[in-house]
Structure 1
Amino acid sequence: MKRFAFVSDFDGTISQKDFYWIVIEKHFPEGRKLYKEWKSGKLKDIDFLSTVFSSINQTEDVILQDIDGIEIDPGVPAFIQEVQKRGGDFYVLSAGSDYYIRPLLKKHGVENVEVLSNTGVFHEKNVHLQIDPKHWSYSERYGIDKSLVIQDFKKKYEQVYFAGDSEPDSHPAACADITFAKAALQDLLDEKNVPHVKVASFQEITSYFNQQHLWN
């Protein structure tokens, strides 16, 4: 087995803001009503995202400029380098889309990181998600079942660490050896009595790794 894997959500965990909010604020104001319906349980996550991403109605250059403007946690690139230096593998596990994740990682010089997410393609001024119901990690609600991915990694790695910030991350959090929880995920895991480490940044995750000698 390999030593360890660090698996991180993207939107709100690595990035400072969810891509869907950028779309809603800039191009799809109707999405605010849709957001409330989603949060009230009337819409599945993947249906909400699919609708928002397919309602941009801009050229790909404009969309890519929007993506380029997304800020990430400044401690992420150095943390990923340290993980790899110490013999670990870093993965991005997102119920969003690789369409905006890959260019952002490239922009920040992040290399050799596998992105496990919903495939997105640009077509007719919008981003369309391509979901394969036959894929082994398929989820009807999220597009990708993060719990299944973490469980699969636990067969291959001695330790699997996970970081997330919201409801979709509460499920894989229960499977990881250590979960680092940001924002709303902290209260969700408290309610479920799922052990976790509360953090606000990747710098704090780095400090925890150093203090607990998890690199060794």
Structure 2
Amino acid sequence: MKPIIFCDFDGTITNTDNIISIMKKFAPPEWEELKDGVLQQKISISSGVGDMFSLLDSDLKDDIIQYVTDTAGIRPGFYEFVEYTKQANIPLYIVSGGMDFFIEPLLHDILPKDSVFCNNAYFDKEKIYIEWPNACDDQCKNDCGCCKPSIMREIAGESDFKLVIGDSVTDFEAAKKADFVIARDILLEKCNKEGIPHQGFETFYDVIDILKQREEVWA
């Protein structure tokens, strides 16, 4: 089996969940109820996140980008992890419920654009609005926004050993489709509860070590 990696962005590659960080800084209090609805899986991701961004004025764009750039922070070992996947010839895809306008500058073009799947934010109206170019396929009815299981089905072949790296409830559906999960935070708790094969991590140096330990699986 050949390894293929699907890695989350917010709270996984970055030290913080950037959407939550943006809302805490710029949004009115109504965003909290929407966030709670998404995390409790009472509101779909696309509906909740779309409504959260609709609370923000479009003219905040530059301020938001600067704020995320200043505060997000790339998790230690990420650049070395990318280099490891290149040297080991392991395909790496970033699959994120985050937004293009802050993901692209934070990744600094270290991966090809066709390896990054995320949502698109637009600022040509009074309020920010979101479009979802990676919607659910006919096998998913969760209204995910950026549907990670659908992307996995599109890209991964039957002979691929699917690895998912993530941190949140938004990664859980992808984790259920994976052969192995590398998890932290809420996703780690869910994998423990559901008995999904996994290992925890804090930095991408941990991720590199986990992958090296499992190389015999796909040797």
Q: TM-score, with normalisation over the residues of structure 1?
A: 0.85
1:171-182 → structure 2 map (5 Å cutoff): 171-182=173-184
Alpha-carbon distance between aligned partners in 1 of 2:188 and 2:124, rounded to the nearest angstrom: 37
Q: Give the residue type in structure 1 aligned to 2:16.
A: K
SS in structure 1 at match of 2:98: strand
1:159, 1:98 → 2: CA distance? 28
Residue 9 of structure 1 corresponds to: 8
Partners in 2 of 1:186 and 1:90 — Cα distance? 21
Q: 2-side partners of 1:170 and 1:201: how far apart?
A: 20
How far apart are 1:119 and its partner, in Å? Answer: 2.1
How much does 1:67 deviate?
2.4
Instruction: Tell me, yes or no, if structure 1 residue 59 matches structure 2 residue 60.
Output: yes
CA distance in 1, matches of 2:105, 2:67: 11
Helix, strand or coil at the partner of 2:157: coil
Deviation at 1:45, TM superposition (A): 1.5
Q: Which structure 1 residue ranges, 4+ long, deviate > 6 Å from structure 2?
A: none
The answer on 1:118 being equivalent to 2:119 is: yes
Structure 1 residue 68: Cα displacement: 1.1
State the 1:41 CA deviation.
Answer: 4.2
Structure with greater strand share of residues: 1
Partner SS state of residue 12, structure 1 = coil
- Cα distance, 1:160 vs. partner? 2.4
In structure 1, the partner of 2:172 is 170
TM-score (norm 2): 0.84
Question: How far off its partner does 1:14 sit?
Answer: 0.9
Size of the aligned set, in residue pairs, is 213
Aligned to 1:46: 46
Q: CA RMSD in A?
A: 2.6
More helix by share: 2
Are 1:60 and 1:125, in contact at CA under 8 Å, matched by a contact in 2? no
Percent same amino acid among aligned pairs? 23
Q: In the alignment, does 2:211 pair up with 1:209?
A: yes
- CA change 1:135–1:49 in 2 (3 A) is closer
**Residue 29 (structure 2) pairs with residue 27 (structure 1):** no
